[in-house]
Amino acid sequence: MITAYQTFEELTATATAYMTSQGYSFKMIDHYQQRWQHVAKYMTERGIKEYAPDVGTQYLIDTIGETDTKDLPRSKRTCIRIVSSLSDFYVSGCFRKRKLYTPPEELTGEIGLAIAQYIIDFKQINGYARNTVQSHKLYLSRFLEYLNKSNIRSFASFKPEVMIDFAGSLTGYSATTRHFIILKTNRFLRYLHEQGVLPADYSTVTPKDKYVRQPKLPSYYSPEEISRLLKSIDRSNANGKRDYAMILLAVRLGLRRSDVINMKFDNIDWEHERIIFNQQKTKVPIELPLFPDIGNAIIDYLKYGRPQSDLPCVFLRLIPPYDHMNENALHGALQKYLRLSGIKYDERKHGPHALRHSLASNLLKQHVALPVISGVLGHARTESTIDYLRIDIESLRKCALEIPLKRKEASHDL
């Protein structure tokens, strides 16, 4: 359960007490406290009075930059861990246990270069987003890692039975991860056969994966909770004006975090009261209404909160340098206002996507048709929207069939 901390000193003092109770050494605690003092100085220099995860994120960006973690020296990786631990404690009251990161295998050698070429062809043919392409690279790097450990470094030594052993080596992964590793690897094997690299389609040898996707129940916030959330935002300052406009876009239009953060002035058609943009995730264009409350919130931010800047992005950082916001900032801001509003979300997701889920769920309760909701959310397929039906309990009750009473057996007098 989240605790309201009056000051940064109170937050770090409570976190220190937690570390002591967990058996951290005095040397380790002192090391953490020194880094937290640097964060306190950073906040003071920028006039930030209250800590939140987005402050920690921005501190790390300004201090370390956005270099890939695996390329950083140990001291900077430790800095990330210490600041991230404080953000974890702010949200959950404990330090999250972190798994050791295993970097993906470098795509070198004959097989590695074939994977690299496959990824290039895959992106060009399908036009998938960067994140989708990166996921293919990550999953296939696990396959390459196994081949290298098995001393299979060329297609000449690649035999069909390798796939049986490879599938058996994935027992340490979750069912979902194992499924996607096998799925992406089989696609790669079919590609190799189509290109004439392999004499047959070796994916047919891979043991069948019995994975069945179990959709997670979307997190939902009621209209009353959404109202409390919006009222908790102090709009008398620049930070509140910006956060209110961003969160309102997620609440009223169901915009994804990336689409809010990357919104540009060209996306807003004031004359025709609409917002037009290509979705960051799907690259599919979408047109949504610019409701009066959204337009007024954006104007209020632009006139009295946005720093002077020639950048095309609507929403900017409010501390120097006044440039493009990090996507994690919206997540941190939402957590802050959920806490201030007193909304309990221990068992629910509490990121911007939860607001998107809530919009869909509340529209369903108003009996809005699924195709209309799909259009609002920018779903390419109506099937993507069906998951929200599972939290519309009242509508599900209407679909329930009566269970006939068990007929009593006829009694016989003896």
Residue with tokens 């259009």: 375
256 is catalytic: yes
What is the DSSP secondary structure assignment for residue 313, as one 8-state letter?
B
Dist. CA 157–CA 177, nearest whole Å? 27
**Model confidence at 216: pLDDT above 90:** no
Nearest to 209 by CA among 233, 178, 248, 235: 178
**Model confidence at 220: pLDDT above 70:** yes
Residue with tokens 């695996």: 70
Dist. CA 379–CA 68, nearest whole Å? 32
Q: Residues 7, 9, 12, 18: is their CA dihedral positive or negative?
A: negative
Question: What integer is the mean pLDDT of 240-267?
Answer: 94
**Model confidence at 4: pLDDT above 70:** no
CB 360 within 8 A of CB 388: yes
Portion of the chain with pLDDT greater than 70, in percent:
83
**Position 389 confidence tier, pLDDT thresholds 50, 70, 90:** low
Exactly one of 76, 187, 348, 353 is catalytic; which is it?
353
Question: What integer is the mean pLDDT of 199-203?
Answer: 93
184 is catalytic: no
Exactly one of 306, 350, 356, 357 is catalytic; which is it?
356
If 0-12 CB within 10 Å is exposed, 13-18 middle and 19+ buried, where does residue 33 land? middle
Q: What is the pLDDT of residues 350-372, one digit of tens each?
A: 788 888 888 887 787 777 766 67
If one compares 292 and 105, the residue with the highest pLDDT of the two is 292
3-state secondary structure 98-134: CCCCCCCCCCCHHHHHHHHHHHHHHHHHHCCCHHHHH
If one compares 30 and 381, the residue with the highest pLDDT of the two is 30
Give pLDDT, residue 363.
80
Dist. CA 378–CA 258, nearest whole Å? 13
**Model confidence at 392: pLDDT above 60:** no
The contacts of residue 258 (CB under 8 Å, 6+ apart) are: 280, 281, 327
Dist. CA 256–CA 90, nearest whole Å? 24
Q: What is the pLDDT of residues 41-99, one digit of tens each?
A: 988 888 888 888 878 888 888 888 766 666 678 888 889 889 989 988 887 888 876 55
193 is catalytic: no
75-84, 241-250, 402-411, range with greatest mean pLDDT: 241-250
350 is catalytic: no
What is the DSSP secondary structure assignment for residue 71, as one 8-state letter?
G
Give pLDDT, residue 380.
62
324 is catalytic: no
CB 209 within 8 A of CB 174: no
Give pLDDT, residue 391.
52
The contacts of residue 373 (CB under 8 Å, 6+ apart) are: 360, 363, 364, 385, 388
Give pLDDT, residue 290.
95
Could you tell me the CA-to-CA distances from 281 to 170, 277, 367, 384 in Å, in that order? Answer: 29, 12, 27, 14
Chain centroid to CA 215:
16
Exactly one of 35, 256, 336, 339 is catalytic; which is it?
256
Average pLDDT, the chain: 83
Question: What integer is the mean pLDDT of 117-146?
Answer: 82
**Model confidence at 40: pLDDT above 80:** yes
**Position 126 confidence tier, pLDDT thresholds 50, 70, 90:** confident
Within 10 angstroms of residue 15's Cβ, the number of other Cβ atoms is 23
Exactly one of 281, 324, 348, 365 is catalytic; which is it?
281
Q: Provide DSSP, 387-410.
A: GGGGG-HHHHHHHPPPPPPPPPPP
**Model confidence at 242: pLDDT above 90:** yes
Chain centroid to CA 100:
20
So what CATH class is 223-398? Answer: mainly alpha
Q: Where are the beta strands (DSSP E) in 171-227?
A: none
Q: What is the pLDDT of residues 372-381, one digit of tens each?
A: 777 777 766 6
Q: What is the pLDDT of residues 166-189, one digit of tens each?
A: 999 987 777 788 888 999 999 999
Could you tell me the CA-to-CA distances from 75 to 67, 78, 87, 157, 282 in Å, in that order? Answer: 14, 5, 19, 42, 38
The helix or strand, by DSSP H or E, that contains position 52, with its residue range, turns out to be none
CB 324 within 8 A of CB 311: yes
178 is catalytic: no
Give pLDDT, residue 410.
46
**Model confidence at 262: pLDDT above 90:** yes
Give pLDDT, residue 212.
67
Give pLDDT, residue 414.
42
The helix or strand, by DSSP H or E, that contains position 269, with its residue range, turns out to be strand 268-269
CATH no., domain 109-205: 1.10.150.130
Position 171: which residue type? Answer: T
